[in-house]
Amino acid sequence: MEVITGFHAIEEALKNLSAPNFSTVQAKGKLYITGKHKKHDIIATVAFEKNIKVIKTDQKEIDSISDHSDNRGAVLILTDKKNSKIKPLSLKNFFEISNKNNSIVLLLDGVTDPHNFGAILRSADQFAVDLVIIPGKRSAGENATVRKTSAGASEYVPVIEDNLARSIDALKKNGFWVYGADMDGKPCMSQDLKGKVALILGSEGKGISRLLAEKCDGLIKIPSSGHVDSFNVSVACGILLYEIVRQQK
C-alpha cells in the first residue's frame, strides 16, 4: 500500500497510472479530500478518469490516514499496484534498453536525507536523467517524503540499488565518462561533458568516498565566490545537470 500526500505528488501518481512514456501502471485505490482547496477539484477529476474512488471527508480523518503529515487536506491510497513500466531493474537491463548517444546517469554516494533525495529526483526529471543509482546502504530510499519533495518526479525517474564501485566499472565499459562532484575539481564549464556522462554526488560534509573518487575520469566543481563552504547537494545537482545538458545540446 502506498500513502501519498502533496498535490503535485498525488497528481503525478494518478497521471502515471497510464504514463505514455513507460507503458502503464495499474492500481486500485482511494483519494480522500476535504474539498476545501481549488486543487482538490483538479486531482479529483484525474482520479475519476483513472477509476480511483474519491471520498470527501473531514481533516481529522485525513490526518489519521496520512499519519498527521502536512497533507493539505488530501491523501491518496494506492493498493494492488502492478507496475509494467519499462524501467530498468538493473544496470545490465539499463544497458540493454538504452541506446542514446547523449546519456546522463546519476550516482548518489551517501545522500541520506529524503528531502535532498526528493529534490535531486525533481532535477533529474527536469533534465531528463536516464538513471539514478543508489547504494543499498547509507542512502535515502523512495518513500512518502521523497515522493512529496520530488513533486511527483519520483514516478518518472528510474532508480536502482547497486554497488557504486561496480556500477562505475560497468558504466566505463559501456562508454560512459564518470565525473565526481568535488570542491577541488576542475570548473564544470571547462570540462567536456558531452556524450555519455555519469555524475557522482556525495553527502554534504563528507563528499564522495576516496574509492569512488579514484575511479572517476575527473572531478568537477561549481565555481563560486560565497562565504559558506559549498552548495546543498540537491542545489549542486541541479546546477551540474544544467551544465551537462547545456553542453550536450
Tell me the pLDDT of the chain averaged across its residues: 84
Domain boundary among 30, 53, 83: 83
Phi and psi (nearest 5°) for 103?
-140, 145
Confidence of residue 150 (pLDDT cuts 50, 70, 90): low
Say whether both 156 and 105 belong to one domain: yes
Instruction: Give the C-alpha separation, 224 to 208, whole Å.
Output: 19
**Per-residue pLDDT, 84:** 43
Q: Are 156 and 184 in contact (CB under 8 A)?
A: no
pTM of the predicted protein model: 0.67
Say whether both 75 and 150 belong to one domain: no
Confidence of residue 221 (pLDDT cuts 50, 70, 90): very high
Higher pLDDT among residues 65 and 136, named by residue = 65
Say whether both 112 and 57 belong to one domain: no
Say whether both 107 and 223 belong to one domain: yes
Confidence of residue 9 (pLDDT cuts 50, 70, 90): confident
Say whether both 231 and 119 belong to one domain: yes
Say whether both 147 and 188 belong to one domain: yes
User: Domains in the chain: how many in total?
Assistant: 2
The DSSP string of 11-61 is HHHHHGGG-GGG--EEEEEEEEE-S-SHHHHHHHHHHHHTT-EEEE--HHH
**Per-residue pLDDT, 11:** 87
Cell reading at 138:
547509507
Q: Which domain holds residue 139?
A: 91-248
Domain boundary among 39, 55, 83: 83
Q: Is 50 exceeded by the pLDDT of residue 22?
A: no
Q: Where residue 18 sits, what CATH number does that domain have?
A: 3.30.1330.30
Confidence of residue 13 (pLDDT cuts 50, 70, 90): confident
Q: Is 90 exceeded by the pLDDT of residue 85?
A: no
Q: Is 70 exceeded by the pLDDT of residue 160?
A: yes
Instruction: Give the C-alpha separation, 179 to 193, whole Å.
Output: 9
CA dihedral sign, ordered 5, 152, 22, 199: negative
Say whether both 78 and 201 belong to one domain: no
**Per-residue pLDDT, 140:** 62
Say whether both 49 and 103 belong to one domain: no
Query: What are the pLDDT digits (tens) for 178-207?
Result: 999 998 999 999 999 999 999 999 987 788
Alpha helices in the chain, H assignment, sequence order: 7-15, 38-49, 59-65, 91-97, 114-126, 144-149, 164-173, 210-215, 233-248
| Averaged pLDDT for residues 14-33 | 68
Q: Where residue 203 sits, what CATH number does that domain have?
A: 3.40.1280.10
Q: pLDDT > 90: what percent of the chain? A: 42
Confidence of residue 151 (pLDDT cuts 50, 70, 90): low
Confidence of residue 86 (pLDDT cuts 50, 70, 90): very low
Instruction: Give the C-alpha separation, 68 to 90, whole Å.
Output: 35
Say whether both 109 and 42 belong to one domain: no
Say whether both 97 and 56 belong to one domain: no
Say whether both 39 and 128 belong to one domain: no
Higher pLDDT among residues 95 and 227, named by residue = 95
Say whether both 102 and 158 belong to one domain: yes
Domain boundary among 35, 59, 83: 83
Amino acid identity at 225: S
**Per-residue pLDDT, 23:** 42
Higher pLDDT among residues 138 and 135, named by residue = 135
